[in-house]
Amino acid sequence: MKPVVLLIGKLPHVIGDVARQLDHLPIEWLGAHDAGEVTRQLGTEPRIACVIMGAGLDDATRGRLIGVIAAQRPDLSIHLKDRASGPEGLVPFVERVVAHEVLNRVPETPAG
């Protein structure tokens, strides 16, 4: 059974794009973009191994979602993407977090 990672982002299609780009990893991806979806995913999927939140959400929303996650699933680590790396930094960030936190390995670096 694959580990599950919850991706939280501003736009649903962004989360889908990340999952498609990282489909080579042995991960089951779940997505959410608001508190209702986060609550539903946390309540229905006990196998979630960690939560990764994109930088597109405003700080107040990110703070509220952290509170929701911590209250409902205090066992989960929550990883917040920085804003400086921009949207193109999301996939590499997710891949690094998953490699270290979920798969317990060093991510592969592209040759070049």
Best CA proximity match to 34, nearest among 2, 5, 4, 60: 60
Model confidence over 12-43: pLDDT tens digits? 777 888 989 999 999 999 999 899 999 999 99
Mean predicted lDDT score pLDDT of the chain: 90
d(C-alpha 37, C-alpha 35), whole Å? 6
Fold assignment, 4-102: Rossmann fold (3.40.50)
> Could you tell me the two tokens for 60?
């107040």
> How high is the pLDDT of residue 61?
94
List the domain boundaries for the chain: 4-102
Task: Name the percent of the chain lying above pLDDT 90.
Answer: 75
d(C-alpha 93, C-alpha 80), whole Å? 9
Q: Are 63 and 54 contacting, i.e. CB atoms less than 8 angstroms apart?
A: no
> Could you tell me the two tokens for 61?
């929303």
Q: What is the mean pLDDT of residues 4-16?
A: 86
